[in-house]
Amino acid sequence: MVTLCYILIAVALLPYIAVPILIWNTQRFTCAFHLRVIQETFLPKSVVAEFTKTSDALLANDFQHCFDAASQDEFLGMRFYHRILVNRLQRTWAICTGICDPEGSLQKSYLELKSQLQNRRLFSTHNSELLGAPIKSSRMRTIVLPSDTPTEVMVKIHVANLNKLQPSDLLEPDSTLAVETFKQFLTEDHEEQLELGAIYFDDNEKVYRPTWAGAILIGWYSMWPLTLIRRFINALRIRMKYARP
């Protein structure tokens, strides 16, 4: 009976050993994002429909359209499309993202509102429901909202939190540098994880790879029960603090 208990415990713990090893051995992150600015006519129809619905709400909140783009870097066969808008008065970028399969069918879409602060700090509000890396730099403050959060509500929550800051803390967006700013946003998360020691640069493959500590954290925080605990804490925090901006 005791032996059976040990076997069951070993089986239960096995994923907590195997998953980090698998992540360390297989996961790679590009160090250079390849972005192509395109016209709306070259976006998949499913993406256009979703982007139009979101951007119409943003335009009604004084955002201005900057550009549409397609990422030339694929992940697990998925293709990424983006629409970038800006509100200079509220000092906020809006990034609409659509993820499609090779046939062009939309699999997931989300919106991120991002504001740049002094000293390389960032303030982000998004509804992707992805909690992101388990360890984050103090430079990055993120609010994760449910995927069905209306665009208007997201804008109100983001702006309400920006209003708690000093106006001098916020950097004014430069729409003429929209493409360069978006590329910077794409690389900043990897740079942050590099500084924290969660990933390192592999000179041979010219990619970022997880460190052992990073692989353990990525693996464990994406598994039960830690992932459920993180989601519960995040949902509770939203209900208590951000539901009514």
Q: How many Cα atoms occupy the beta-carbon half-sphere of 204 within 13 Å?
A: 1
pTM for this model (two decimals) = 0.85
CA neighbours within 13 Å on the CB side: how many for 56? 6
Cα(101)–Cα(80) distance, integer angstroms:
9
Residue 16 pairs with which residues in a beta bridge?
none
Q: Are 48 and 89 in contact (CB under 8 A)?
A: no
Chain centroid to CA 131: how far? 8
Question: Which pLDDT tens digit goes with each residue over 137-183?
Answer: 678 888 889 889 999 999 999 999 999 888 888 999 998 899 999 98
Which range has highest mean pLDDT (82-91, 100-109, 199-208)? 82-91
3-state secondary structure of 141: strand
Q: Are strands 140-144 and 122-126 parallel, antiparallel or unpaired?
A: parallel
216-230: per-residue pLDDT in tens? Answer: 888 888 888 878 887
